[in-house]
Amino acid sequence: MANQRTTAVPQVRTMARGEFQQFSLVPSDRLPAIVGDAVAVEFGRFIDQSESAIDFKQLFDILSAFALKLDFPWVGYCRLAYDQEIMEPAGDCPTIVLNYPDKWQERYVQMGFRRIDPIIKRSRRQACPFRWSEVYKDGKTTELERSILEEAATFGLRSGVSVPLHGPGGNFAVMSFVQPCCSETQNKTVTYLQSTALYYHLRVARFVELSGLDKVPNLSCREKECILWVAKGKSSWDIGAIIGISENTVNFHIKKVLKKLDTSSRTAAALRAASLGIIEL
């Protein structure tokens, strides 16, 4: 996943019949590297090591090592904004961190799969963790969305568990733990993955806070006034008449707000301003 746009219409590769059948979950004889009480011990070690992490890379390395012990060699973490766009990096804070196969990452970006990714779609409307098999079998999942999961399987990403991580203002993140085998992840393991994702997400937020990267943009009084009226549904002409300035001047202030809040539309800017506490609706 990457913050790139494309207008290409996805042309999804067709899976071989055997590969498609493998995607349907069949009980696996493979066991995680750790089982039983050992999982709790390793989870505690993950917490302790994460507390000592000095940067984002080290934190992700610790996360990946723990996930591998649960038989999930691939992990992906992505922070998204309320408007479905990937959030812009804040300083050294990454918006996407993953160790998926390089070829799949290239294919995903090239075909613009993020726009129709069923994992992101489900994460947007669900708070609980879910298995990829649940998305695949869901009647609401379209054939095009399902084909993305099928193609991911051809690159080795055959089953996974994703954890939505929702925050204020509609912003959210999603963390996925992925396996090369088709196995049904036990509920207890899913619970550990959820706790792991939440802790990682909170540590990232803490890094951002300590780095001073999460500061609220500074808007002038006039900019706040204009975006407040935008939030109330007023046009630029209406706003100009209300506060006694020209329509062009209103548009000038709104454009500055869009830039400061890193948004592409008036509505998105109004929503972001409200979520950051810049204006009160």
Q: What percent of the chain has pLDDT over 70?
A: 78
Q: Is 78 left (phi over 0), alpha (psi -120 to 50) or beta?
A: beta
**Which tokens in the block code for residue 20?**
């498609």
pLDDT at residue 54 tops 50? yes
Confidence (pTM): 0.66
Mean pLDDT, residues 20-39 taken together: 53
Nearest to 239 by CA among 258, 224, 260: 224
pLDDT at residue 175 tops 50? yes
What gap in Å lies between CA 68 and CA 162, rounded to an integer?
A: 15
Q: What is the pLDDT of residue 183?
A: 80
29, HSE (Cβ side, Cα atoms, 13 Å): 0
Q: What is the pLDDT of residue 8?
A: 36
Q: What angle do CA 188, 60, 32 make, to 5 degrees?
A: 35
User: Under a CB-based contact definition with an 8 Å cutoff, are residues 10 and 115 in contact?
Assistant: no
pLDDT at residue 19 tops 60? no
pLDDT at residue 103 tops 90? yes
Could you identify the residue written with the tokens 């899976």?
15
Mean pLDDT, residues 170-184 taken together: 88
What gap in Å lies between CA 73 and CA 77, rounded to an integer?
A: 14
Task: Give the chain's mean pLDDT.
Answer: 82
SS3 214: coil
Per-residue pLDDT of 193-242, as tens digits, reads: 999 999 999 898 887 766 655 567 889 999 999 999 998 889 999 999 99
Please, which pLDDT band fits residue 115 given cuts at 50, 70 and 90?
A: confident
What gap in Å lies between CA 159 and CA 152, rounded to an integer?
A: 9
What gap in Å lies between CA 33 and CA 17, rounded to an integer?
A: 30
Distance in Å from the first CA to the final CA of the chain? 34
Q: What is the pLDDT of residue 261?
A: 85
What gap in Å lies between CA 251 and CA 247, rounded to an integer?
A: 6
Structural domains in the chain, sorted by start: 17-211 (3.30.450.80), 221-275 (1.10.10.10)
Higher pLDDT, 212 or 156: 156
